[in-house]
Structure 1
Amino acid sequence: MVAVPDTATEVAWEPCMRERWEALFRAAGKSTLEQAWAYGQAVESEHGLTVERGLVAAGGEPLALVQSFCRRRALVRFARVMRGPVWLIDPLADRRASQVCAAIAGHYRRRRLGDFLLWLAELPQDVRSDATLRALGLRPVVTGYSSVWLDLDPPLETLRAKLHGKWRNALQQAEGSGITVEAVDHPRRLNQMLLLYDRFRRKKRFLGPNGDFIAALARADRGAVTALTARRERDLVAGIILVRHGASATYLASWTSDAGRAGQAHNLLLWRGIDALKAGGCRWLDLGGVNTESQPGIARFKLGLGGEVFSLAGTYL
Structure 2
Amino acid sequence: MRVLESIESGFPSHQAWDELVARDPRGHLLQTWAWGELKRAFGWIPVRLAVERDGVLLAGAQVLYRRLGPFSLGYIPKGPVVAREDSQQTDSLRALNALWKAIHSRSRRLRAISLKVEPEWYEEETSRVDRLVAQGLRPSKECIQPRRTIIVDLRPDEEQLLARMKSKWRYNIRLSVRKGVIVREGTTEDMATFYDLMRITSERNGFGIHSRDYYRRALELFAPSGRSILYMAYYQNLPLAGLIAYAFNGQSWYMYGASSNEHRELMPNHQLQWRAMQWAKSKGSTQYDLWGIPDTEADSATASLAGVQRFKEGFGGKVVRYVGAYDYVYSRPLYWMMRKAWNYGRMLPGIGAGTPSWT
TM-score > 0.5 by shorter chain = yes
> Is residue 261 of structure 2 the alignment partner of residue 258 of structure 1?
yes
Task: Name the counterpart of 2:116.
Answer: 118
For the 8 Å contact 1:143–1:313, the answer to whether it is kept is no
Higher relative contact order (CA 8 A, sep 6+): 1
Cα distance in structure 2, aligned partners of 1:75 and 1:297: 42
Deviations 1:198-234 (A, max 9, x none): 3422442225544321211223222432111111122
Q: How many residues align?
A: 306
Aligned equivalent of 1:178, options 177, 180, 187: 180
Letter in 2 for 1:25: V
Aligned equivalent of 1:44, options 40, 44, 57: 40
Task: Name the counterpart of 1:308.
Answer: 318
Change in 2 beyond 3 A, CA 1:246/1:89: closer
Of stretches 225-234 and 16-25 in structure 1, the one that deviates more from structure 2 is 16-25
Cα distance in structure 2, aligned partners of 1:118 and 1:229: 35
- Give 5+ residue unaligned stretches, structure 2: 6-10, 328-359
Task: Name the counterpart of 2:20.
Answer: 24
1:46-85 superposed matches below 5 A: 46=42, 48-57=43-52, 62-72=57-67, 76-85=71-80
Change in 2 beyond 3 A, CA 1:41/1:202: farther
Cα distance in structure 1, aligned partners of 2:271 and 2:71: 48
Cα distance in structure 1, aligned partners of 2:216 and 2:110: 37
Q: TM-score, normalised by structure 1?
A: 0.83
Change in 2 beyond 3 A, CA 1:131/1:199: same
Letter in 1 for 2:282: A
Cα distance in structure 2, aligned partners of 1:148 and 1:51: 29
> Is residue 90 of structure 2 the alignment partner of residue 88 of structure 1?
no
Cα distance in structure 2, aligned partners of 1:310 and 1:197: 27
1:141-160 superposed matches below 5 A: 141-142=140-141, 145-160=147-162
Task: Name the counterpart of 1:277.
Answer: 280
> Percent identity at matched positions?
24
Cα distance in structure 2, aligned partners of 1:100 and 1:67: 15
Q: Residue 240 of structure 1: SS of its match in structure 2?
A: strand
Q: TM-score, normalised by structure 2?
A: 0.74
